[in-house]
A and B are shown apart, each in its own frame.
Chain A
Amino acid sequence: MTRKHRRLILVLACGAGLGSAVALTLSAFRDSVAFFVSPSEIAAKAPPAGRSFRLGGLVEAGSLHRTMDGARPAATFEVTDGHATVSVHYIGILPDLFREGQGVVALGTIAPDGSFRANEVLAKHDEAYMPKEVADALKKSGHWNPAAGPPPPAATWNDMTVTGAKQAKAGG
């Protein structure tokens, strides 16, 4: 065994040790690394009242009600992860991407009645990027309802042409 081999093995061994140490640490701190908790996690183990945390999930279709709180806009909506639902109340301006079916992350506390009082609402956008024409064509043809969930598999739409989508929309 030459010195080069010895050094290579030493570096690889250090790397393996360091890698497993970091992996163990990260899995131990799994909960604190998570940016938000989901409604079903709250249903399973409710955080103490008055403690601020982040709630994440999809805005349920048909649940958004916009009102006015004095001069400021207010909104009530349900956040769901498919299994559990939490009602959220927020006073302030919602981000531009906010809509039904969109992922959101809200920072706030659980009120005594079990609803969530948000101080801040962030919109989480998904990993799909499509022009308006393609989105309209998918909606028109009934392949996708953005309020109900994520878009259909990418292979069905990512090579659609904008002019083709326009024609499909006009024809359909």
Chain B
Amino acid sequence: MDARTALAPPAKSPVPGGRNLHRFANPGRFLRLSGKVLPWFSAAGLVLTLIGLGWGLFFAPADWQQGDAVRIMYVHVPFAWLASAGYVGLALCSLASLVWRHPLADLAAQEIGPVGAGATALCLATGSLWGKPMWGAWWVWDARLTSVLVLFFLYLGHVALVRAFDDPARGARAGAILALVGAVDLPIIKFSVNWWNTLHQPATITLTGAPTMYLGMLWPLFIAALGLTLGFVAVILARTRAAVMERRIRALLLAQAQREQVLPRQVGA
């Protein structure tokens, strides 16, 4: 009986704002909603990525001084954006986990980690491949490159920390604190090129001015970035769904094991 009540949905929160948030944190509702949007996100992500990268790699004009090497941008820039955006997602999930104790936020944070680390690794690798022919160096210790490397280590640390405890709740808690502390790196990454002398150039696309990029190069970049973002979200949704189902299966197996342990004893008694 105890095991069955553990599976029952949690009692409604008395706080009105909390109830609104809990509506989306319900794992059952999440499974239904994400199941519906997942195929659309995956398909749209794949199609837009193919269009954006095909346009950028084969049809967009070469840069006047970088030549065809500029095409690395169509991969490098989306992954750089996703590396930071993924960490924003991780920090928000961690906040929801620490303050509102959402079990779903824990699972989402746990699954954003490896995907974000992958995006950051790709951003660093493509940046290195771009840096050698253009700057003349694979790697330099300037503020932008170093702060993104720190972001990569933060992701890896989070991935390791949330899985390092026998009790998943304690791992999630420690990981959430690490993720929130690490969020201080995000403004450093964004503004490093404005605050300090760096080898990396400042932002091309800003909120205040016209993008200093030819529009025939900007469109494929936006389409590729949108496609890769949808793909990024789809991978995280799929992983989080799998994590929710795994947890349900574990709870069911646990309940079954408890029932089987309890019943023979009762029969024997």
Contact = CB atoms under 8 A, between A and B. Distances in A.
Given A8-B99, A18-B181, A35-B196, A134 B64 contact: yes
A135 interface: yes
Contacts, number: 134
B166 to A, nearest CB: 24
Contacts of A133: 61
B214 A129 contact: yes
B28 interface: no
Interface stretch (B118-126, B133-141, B238-246): B133-141
Main secondary structure of the interface of A (DSSP, over half): mixed
B196 A95 contact: no
Interface in B189-231: 195-199, 201-204, 209-218
Interface string A62-98: 0000000000000000000000000000000001110
A168 to B, nearest CB: 15
Nearest to B146: A33
A35 B61 contact: no
A61 interface: no
A103 B6 CA distance: 64
Interface string A19-37: 1001000100010011111
Interface in B130-182: 133-137, 140-143, 180-181
Interface residues of B, number: 47
Interface residues on A, range: 35 or more
7 contacts: A7-B98, A8-B99, A33-B195, A123-B134, A131-B62, A134-B64, A159-B215
Interface of A: 2, 4, 7-8, 11, 14-15, 18-19, 22, 26, 30, 33-38, 56, 95-97, 99, 105, 120-136, 151, 153-155, 157-162
Given A34-B197, A135-B65, A160-B214, 5 more contacts: A7-B99, A35-B196, A129-B204, A129-B213, A134-B214
